[in-house]
């Protein structure tokens, strides 16, 4: 079912973003009195088709949900009636054509701002940046970090969650800065500024999810209590008589403080008899369980508590009113745009691995995951993909909007359009580049999937 859910989430996300992008072209073309023949979401055979409006514009939903297009009246493609020549796209001024082409990516950026604003209005709930275990001889230890510190700002920019800390650190690495300053709050409410050495931290480390490993600390997560959730049938836990809601007090006489203590002890004693002291309905009970040996680790077949709530001390809610949310949404869109462009530039100069290029499989996977994490997470993902789609379409590659704008720039400079033969030749090169890029993205997706 997860595969089906991911596919449906992918179609939903791409469908929204393609519709927004193509609507930008459509709306500006209509505004500038260019005739629209077809508005298509997807490519290939039409699944649904209807004509609307005075111009009988055909609206289509097609079988392949990986893009779309707006077909306008154009003398280069079909014969045009003399009375409608003035409405043909190819007869429009350079400014009009440029505005219509630029409108698609522009609407993606506007949509990202709106989506991020909605995210901030709903509110982002996440773990505050409390530091957990410190690795010996790590960058964090050498910088003076201690377990229990809370990071409250990065380079004097207030931070609430780990996500913003990682993003700001990535910005510093992209800008080739050697150090970054983390402001921390100790358990005694004292504030310090600690400098982190970034010389051994790369973009690939952060993109590959190695931020915490390279810095040398772990995010602190308050452990859930040692209370049993669901008991799986035909398992050692059920056979021993455990019940949902049992609280683990001790194992073989050793006190248990939280779920991690319980889980670690069980893992370390496969096939061995364990005496368990539990509390059930205000009564203390002794049970005996023998964990199954699963690849050398003990397993008893229980889940943790499903209704465990993380204490408010460790959670932060970032939420704004409409006006401030729009400001924050604009800032977020701008920051993501700059980061995306910087990473692209680093890839072109071979400073960042091409392994981080993702394709439709990864997008589908993240679409499915974020849709299950809640509205804020899904909106954040939607905004990220919308910004990425806008930037990619502005690249000066033939067949993309940026390629058309590049042709218009040449036309503006030389005073005449690019010849049809030149445009056709460059479009073939653009098609080859896009196919190679898509092939690389799918290859990376499959490698991540099977590895």
**Catalytic site positions:** 22
Residues 367 and 163: their CA atoms lie apart, in Å, by 18
d(CA 293, CA 7): 36
As a three-state string, the secondary structure of 149-217 is: CEEEEECCEECCEHHHHHHHHHHHHHCCCCEEEEEEECCCCCEEEEEEECCCCCHHHHHCCCHHHHHCE
Residues in the chain: 451
Whose structure tokens read 């653009």? 430
Secondary structure of residue 270 in the 3-state scheme: coil
> Are 337 and 387 a contacting pair, CB within 8 Å?
yes
Note whether 88 and 75 are within 8 A (CB). Answer: yes
As a whole number of angstroms, the distance between CA 67 and CA 22 comes to 9
Q: How far apart are CA 132 and CA 101, in angstroms?
A: 50
Q: Are 444 and 355 in contact (CB under 8 A)?
A: yes
Backbone φ and ψ for 16, nearest 5 degrees, come out as -65, -50
Helix, strand or coil, per DSSP, at residue 50: strand
Reported as type and span, the H/E element at residue 57 is: strand 57-72
Tokens of 450: 């099977």
Q: Are 155 and 165 in contact (CB under 8 A)?
A: no
């Amino acid at each position: 079912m997860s595969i089906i859910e991911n596919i449906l989430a992918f179609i939903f996300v791409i469908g929204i973003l393609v519709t927004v992008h193509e609507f930008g072209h459509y709306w500006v073309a209509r505004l500038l009195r260019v005739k629209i023949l077809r508005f298509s979401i997807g490519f290939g055979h039409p699944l649904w088709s209807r004509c609307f409006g005075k111009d009988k514009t055909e609206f289509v939903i097609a079988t392949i949900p990986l893009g779309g297009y707006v077909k306008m009246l154009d003398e280069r493609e079909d014969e045009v009636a003399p009375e409608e020549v003035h409405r043909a796209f190819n007869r429009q001024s350079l400014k009009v054509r440029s505005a219509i082409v630029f409108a698609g990516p522009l609407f993606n950026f506007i949509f990202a701002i709106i989506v991020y604003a909605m995210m901030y209005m709903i509110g982002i709930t996440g773990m505050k940046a409390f530091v957990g275990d410190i690795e010996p001889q790590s960058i964090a230890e050498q910088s003076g970090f201690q377990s229990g510190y809370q990071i409250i700002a990065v380079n004097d920019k207030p931070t609430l969650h780990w996500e913003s800390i990682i993003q700001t650190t990535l910005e510093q690495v992209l800008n080739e800065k050697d150090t970054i300053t983390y402001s921390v709050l100790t358990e005694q409410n004292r504030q310090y500024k600690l400098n982190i050495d970034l010389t051994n931290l790369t973009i690939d480390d952060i993109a590959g999810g190695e931020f915490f490993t390279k810095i040398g600390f772990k995010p602190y997560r308050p452990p859930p209590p040692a209370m049993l959730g669901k008991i799986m049938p035909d398992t050692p836990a059920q056979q021993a008589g455990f019940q949902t809601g049992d609280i683990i007090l001790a194992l073989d006489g050793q006190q248990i403080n939280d779920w991690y203590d319980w889980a670690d002890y069980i893992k370390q004693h496969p096939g061995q008899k364990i005496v368990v002291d539990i509390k059930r309905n205000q009564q203390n009970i002794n049970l005996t369980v023998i964990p199954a040996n699963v690849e050398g680790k003990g397993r008893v077949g229980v889940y943790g508590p499903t209704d465990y709530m993380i204490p408010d001390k460790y959670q932060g809610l970032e939420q704004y009113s409409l006006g401030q949310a729009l400001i924050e949404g604009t800032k977020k869109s701008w920051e993501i745009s700059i980061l995306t462009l910087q990473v692209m530039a680093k890839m072109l100069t071979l400073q960042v691995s091409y392994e981080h290029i993702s394709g439709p499989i990864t997008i589908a996977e993240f679409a499915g995951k974020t849709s299950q994490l809640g509205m804020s997470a899904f909106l954040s993902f939607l905004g990220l993909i919308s910004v990425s789609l806008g930037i990619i379409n502005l690249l000066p590659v033939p067949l993309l909007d940026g390629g058309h704008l590049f042709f218009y720039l040449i036309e503006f400079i030389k005073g005449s359009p690019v010849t049809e033969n030149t445009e056709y030749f460059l479009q073939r090169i653009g098609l080859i580049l896009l196919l190679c890029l898509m092939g690389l993205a799918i290859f990376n997706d499959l490698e991540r999937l099977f590895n």
